A and B are shown apart, each in its own frame.
Chain A
Amino acid sequence: MPATQATLEAAFEAARAQGRKALIPFLMSGHPTPRDFAANLREAARFADVIEVGVPFSDPLADGPVIQSAAATALTHGTTLAQTLHTIAEASLHVPVVLMLSVNQVLAHTPEGFARKAAAAGVCGAIIPDLPHEESAAVREVFTRQGLTLVPMLAPTTGPERMKAILAGATGFVYLISVAGVTGTRDSFPPATLAYLQRAARHAKAPLCVGFGISQPGHINQLREHADGFIVGSALIRAIDEGRSIQSVLQPLKEAAAQPSPTRNARDVAQQEEQS
């Protein structure tokens, strides 16, 4: 179904046309309760270009304490993939949804079964942090047949050759892990992060979205020249845990993302430099 693919692309194209950076809030399915999650999904969509929905897993490797705890809470409510997809389908959001889950959750349903059910619920793609490039070919092929995007990930540790190989087949968008570490908020980003984002911008055709540690407008201002979008996870989950509103977190970030860039699109500039 090429229609779903177009939805992700359309979302980034719309943001770009309006001179904005895309904002991608992350919510954990079933957190803090399944009912609250459904309501939060609709509320977050008001500020979102794309929404990332975590399907809770018993043993997540790349998550920090905040998201681990949200997953554990969701699992005590008996949250499943089926329920998550049902809630997403019911919400019929105007923004594309990508799932974030562990490869074992995909295998448990078989890649074919998972892709079929996800596509049927209107999901556009999935982020599978523990499915690196080397292991991804078979799953990507199945996803493509169902019109789903497998979102590739880059890390600051990814070397130049590896980065090129990963970016070569990228569609939808690319998830750039801001710093080596697990999810969670940070004060600022080291110079190495900027250099790595610049390196990625030279080779990427798909939009580049930065995640891990994005919690304040200052973060977006610091990195905005080198990215097309920003993913906000732990900061949002923490706000929900502390009873603060979704708007209180996403409104300021949305405004920062809408600030006009001092330069044109980062990738165009970097690739122009490359050519000259």
Chain B
Amino acid sequence: MNAAVITTAPGRYGIYGGQYVPETLMPNLIALEAAFEAAREDEGFVAEFELTLAEFVARPTPLYFARALSESFGGRVYLKREDCTHTGAHKINNAVGQALLAKRLGKTRIVAETGAGQHGVATAAACARLGLQCIVYMGALDCERQRPNVERMKLLGAEVRPCEAGSRNLKVAINEAIRDWISNPDDTHYLIGSAVGPHPYPAIVREFQSVIGREARGQIMVREGKLPDAVIACVGGGSNAIGIFSGFVDDDVELHGVEAGGNTDAAAATLNHGRPGVLHGALSYLLQDDDGQVRGTHSIAPGLDYPGVGPEHSALKDAGRASYHVVHDAAALDAFRELSRREGIIPALESSHAVAYAKQLLQQRPGLTVVINLSGRGDKDLPSLLERGLL
């Protein structure tokens, strides 16, 4: 495994990261870090995780050469098919890993947040398999626009708690999940779904998602005999991006993260329009006002509808190792339709942002070989898009 970028202190990525949580949770974070460090060195744990990835998650996922998209965009376009995993998004990689870790810690109860519902479904599935109680916090707005995932979570035995406060989206769901954890520190593990939160969460999520980058690197070498020119992934909190970037960060490969622009440029584009601040336990770029109040966000993609971002992305940006771009709702919807029509693959609205950026990049610089992380599938988005007449 490669080293995280410019780690300057435990739990830090450059100046970013850290552990900004109430004292009640600090002992839990210290115990979690110790358990994680022990588990990753434990052959038995690693073997069980890998077997779970193979038999339950259905890994490795294919690296798909998108012939029609390549012709249309003017380059060589590969899709890393995380949409082919069990439950339909990359979230399951981390969910099964952390659920095994929670078992190891002797926890019996799991709380999780979810935006698009993909992490909630993945966590519900992982908990069902391991016999863990599962409670998922989800913004009330997201419950409405990702109805199918709410039903799936319930079927898998999870309790879904809609969050009515404020923006009724992912940010609020994380607030509630953390408050639940503060109230139940002994028996509960907070199974965070993105590369955000206090140390050691960004490191844990990166570790369990790094399988995406490892596989993709090996697959493109077989297929092309060389590394790609660029790797592209959407960034909300940034877990699918950090997963695939981790396979290429030490190589001469461009890394492009794609943030959600909503209808206006700044809508949820944290790395493009934020400045450093603390949200949900870590110092990272943050959309906020001059008094330190966190700004509301808007994106058509609930999984990107978040004012913060994982701390390693902030460090990658400052170091100039990755660049971060903005794609608006309309361009993401165009990509959603184009991939469905031309390749027979319905992408998640989140992943559609990465596809839309790939198109822009290849228009500017034709002929590049690019790998897009197709982080999830779009079935979940259909009812809401149809209802709103957006398709």
Contact = CB atoms under 8 A, between A and B. Distances in A.
A246 interface: no
B24 A130 contact: no
B171 interface: yes
B106 to A, nearest CB: 15
Nearest to A105: B292
Interface in B267-284: 276-281, 283
A268 B288 CA distance: 47
Interface string A167-195: 00000000001001110000000000000
Interface string A57-79: 11111101000100010010000
Contacts of A159: 27
Given A103-B20, A129-B22, A61 B179 contact: yes
Interface in A37-95: 57-62, 64, 68, 72, 75, 80-82
Question: How many residues of A sit at the interface, in one of the four size bands?
Answer: 35 or more
Interface in A86-117: 102-109
B389 interface: no
Nearest to A60: B175
B18 interface: yes
Interface string B272-307: 000011111101001010111110000000000000
B105 interface: no
B54 to A, nearest CB: 37
Interface stretch (A5-13, A132-140, A202-210): A132-140
Q: Is the interface of B mostly helix, strand, loop or mixed?
A: mixed
B165 A157 contact: no
B290 A108 contact: yes
Given A62-B22, A156-B24, A177-B23, A57 B183 contact: no
Nearest to A157: B27
A27 interface: no
B185 A105 contact: no
Given A104-B277, A181-B182, A61 B175 contact: yes
Contact of B291 (A61, A68, A108, A132): A108
A59 B26 contact: no
B23 A134 contact: no
Given A180-B183, A180-B185, A104 B22 contact: no
B344 interface: no
Interface string B326-347: 0000000000000000000000
A80 B184 CA distance: 32
A81 B179 contact: no
A226 B83 CA distance: 57
Contact of B24 (A64, A68, A80, A177): A177
A70 B28 CA distance: 29
A72 B166 contact: yes
Contacts of B24: 62, 155-157, 177, 180-181
B21 interface: yes
B182 A62 contact: yes
A222 interface: no
A121 interface: no
Nearest to B167: A58
Interface string B160-174: 000001100001000
Interface string B1-27: 000000000000000001111111111
Contact of A108 (B26, B179, B281, B292): B292
Contacts of A118: none
Contact of B19 (A82, A132, A177): A132
B89 interface: no
A154 B23 contact: yes
Contacts of A75: 293
Contacts of B179: 61-62, 64, 182
A35 interface: no
Nearest to B175: A59
A108 B288 contact: yes
A132 B27 contact: no
A182 B182 contact: yes
A162 interface: yes
Contacts of A80: 291
A256 interface: no
A104 B26 contact: no
A173 B78 CA distance: 60
A153 interface: yes
A271 interface: no
A123 to B, nearest CB: 16
A135 B25 CA distance: 14
A131 interface: yes
A-B pairs with lowest CB-CB distance, top 9: A108-B292, A155-B24, A105-B292, A181-B183, A104-B278, A155-B23, A58-B293, A62-B22, A58-B294
24 contacts: A58-B166, A58-B294, A59-B171, A59-B280, A61-B182, A62-B24, A72-B166, A104-B286, A108-B291, A130-B21, A132-B20, A134-B19, A135-B19, A135-B20, A153-B23, A155-B22, A155-B24, A157-B23, A157-B26, A158-B27, A162-B27, A180-B24, A180-B182, A180-B184
Given A166-B23, A181-B183, 16 more contacts: A61-B179, A62-B182, A64-B179, A68-B165, A82-B291, A104-B277, A104-B292, A108-B277, A130-B278, A132-B23, A133-B26, A155-B22, A156-B24, A158-B23, A162-B26, A182-B179
